Amino acid sequence: MTFSSNSSHQRLSERAPGTPDLADMRPDDWVERWLPRSWGPYARLCRLDRPVGTWLTLLPCLAALVQAADGWPTLFRLVIFSLGALLMRGIGCCFNDIFDRNFDSQVERTRFRPLTSGQLSLKNALWFVFAQLAVCALLLLALNTYSRWLAVALVPIVIVYPLCKRFTYWPQVVLGIGFNWGMLMAWSDTQNSVPLGAIALWLGAVLWQVGYDSVYAYVDLRDDLKLGLRSAAMRFGDNGRVWIGGFYAATVILWLWGGYAMGMNWPYYVVIAAIGAHFAWQISIFDLARPDRSFMLFRANITVGVMLIVAALAGTVLPL
């Protein structure tokens, strides 16, 4: 496999005016500047250049680790779960690009991805996936038996997600289940059980992701309609604000009840209320006709993830 940095830069510069802020790749980012040429396509395939999804996978998991440990989790668990989040998000992105490579060529935001633009062969992409899975298998040795089985159950969810948009308007539900699976594993590995309150918090995170990923789906709505693909945004149509607001409200309710079921201290509820206010702000400025704003709001959910960790710490570490 050969990869020309100059030709890639030229292709990335061919975007139509007004699209760079929404495009998946940049002509002069850190991957282009710092990594060896042969590494660039692999880094982009697993989205190392776009870490938002990794943070959105990791932050709820870290919050669950704090709650399960009733305070500060061990450094060992923080490292293992951080690596797991990075790898599983990367594997999911690889499968997504493998299955969608023919669709991506017809979408402005995705037409420069490594498989679609010819920077990487399908064979090399598959070998890269197997390598990441092998590293994940090694990480399983650091987990208890319960968590290992949960990790194995996650693999088919990660694989099937990219196919869901072919036959259901709710691929975001499958994505939310997979993205937040680490929350369940945090409990299973720390306490060898997953209490009902933890499941409520996980379900809240799933609905949160349905909400914010639907915001993101509005960026590609026109292209998805043209290609015959489906998403929650397509199902919501012009009622997106109402639907997404409903999912955010359900998220707050589940996180409040989950905290109550686990005996969180009162500061936890103060931070959850602040998260509710952040959701209200998102809905207030959400505009169906502004894909750039949808992209901004999607990224703003990193703040929610950080606040969720603060809530977990507030509910366990701070005194009553």
User: Is 24 within 8 Å of 113 (Cβ atoms)?
Assistant: yes
Q: What are phi and psi of 16, to 5 degrees?
A: -70, 155
**Per residue in 60-71, pLDDT tens?**
999 999 999 988
- Mean pLDDT (whole number) for 6-19: 41
Separation CA 50–CA 33 (nearest Å): 15
Q: Which CATH number fits domain 5-316: 3.40.109.10, 1.10.357.140, 1.10.260.40, 3.30.413.10?
A: 1.10.357.140
Average pLDDT over all residues of the chain: 88
Sign of dihedral through CA atoms 294, 161, 106, 42?
positive
Domain coordinates of the chain in residue numbers? 5-316
Nearest of 254, 255, 253 to residue 314 by alpha carbon? 255
In which band, very low, low, confident or very high, does the pLDDT at 222 lie, cut at 50, 70 and 90? confident
Distance of CA 102 to CAs 113, 130, 156, 206, Å? Answer: 11, 22, 22, 29
Least confident span in 19-23, 33-37, 109-113: 19-23
- What is residue 17's predicted lDDT score, i.e. its pLDDT? 42
End-to-end CA distance of the chain: 60
What token pair was written down for 127? 């070998």
In which band, very low, low, confident or very high, does the pLDDT at 104 lie, cut at 50, 70 and 90? confident
- Give yes or no for residue 19 having a pLDDT over 60: no
Nearest-5° Cα angle at 164, 290 to 283: 30
- Give yes or no for residue 3 having a pLDDT over 50: no
What token pair was written down for 38? 């042969």
- Mean pLDDT (whole number) for 221-232: 83
- Mean pLDDT (whole number) for 81-107: 89
